[in-house]
Amino acid sequence: MLEDKPLILELKQGSKDALRQIYMEYKDTLLTIAASMLHDACAAEDVLHDVFVSFAAGAGKLELRVSLRSYLITSVVNRVRDRFRKKKHHMVELEKAGQISSDVNRPEQSAIFAEQSHLMADALFRIPLEQREAIILHLNGGMKFKEIAEVQGVPMNTVQGRYRYGLDKLRTILNGEMKK
C-alpha cells in the first residue's frame, strides 16, 4: 500500500503524478466493488471514473478524516447508491457486462470458473442492497465491520447482521441453483 499522506500533499499541490499513483493503487479494488454491486462492468467503470473526476476536482480542499482507501470506497458506494436512487441503473446480462479474468489456463477450468462466477454474481444481485454492500465491502473491499458501519451510517451490529443474513441468503440461493 502506498504512503497516502505524502501523496495527498502532492495532490493538493496539483501533482498529476500523485493522482495517477493513487488511481493505479486503488482502481482495481474500487472497480471490483462497483461491479459487484451494480452487476454491470460498464456502469462500474463509469462510477469509478466519476469518483476520480470528483476526487481530482476537490483535491485542493481535501480533508480526510479516514484513510484514503476508506474515503474512496465510501465515494464508490455512494455513487452506486445514487445510481439506484435515480433509477438510471439498468441490468445487463453478465455475458454482456464483461469478461471476468482468472489465472486459469485450461479451457475446462475457465469454463467452470466462468459458470461459478456467473452464479455468484447473479446470487449477489438477488439479495438486498444493504446486505450486498456489507458482503462486498467486507470481502472485496477488505473493510472491517466498524468501517462499513460508518459508510452505511448504521450501528456495527446492524452491519454484522446484514452480513450474516446476506451470506445465509446467498447460501440458500446458490444451493437452490446447484440442485437444478
Average pLDDT rounded to a whole number, residues 47-55: 92
pLDDT surpassing 70 at residue 3: no
CATH number belonging to domain 105-180: 1.10.10.10
pLDDT of residue 110: 63
User: And the C-alpha cell for 152?
Assistant: 452505511
- More confident site: 86 or 69: 69
Domain with CATH 1.10.1740.10 in the chain: 1-98
Q: Is the pTM of this model over 0.75?
A: no
* Residue 22, C-beta contacts closer than 8 angstroms, at least 6 positions apart: 2, 4, 7, 11, 55, 68
Average pLDDT rounded to a whole number, residues 68-97: 71
Average pLDDT rounded to a whole number, residues 155-169: 94
Average pLDDT rounded to a whole number, residues 8-32: 89
Q: What is the DSSP string of 9-24?
A: HHHHTT-HHHHHHHHH
Domain with CATH 1.10.10.10 in the chain: 105-180
pLDDT surpassing 80 at residue 1: no
Say which CATH class 1-98 falls into.
mainly alpha
pLDDT surpassing 80 at residue 89: no
pLDDT digits (tens, 9 = 90+) for 96-112: 444 444 444 566 766 66
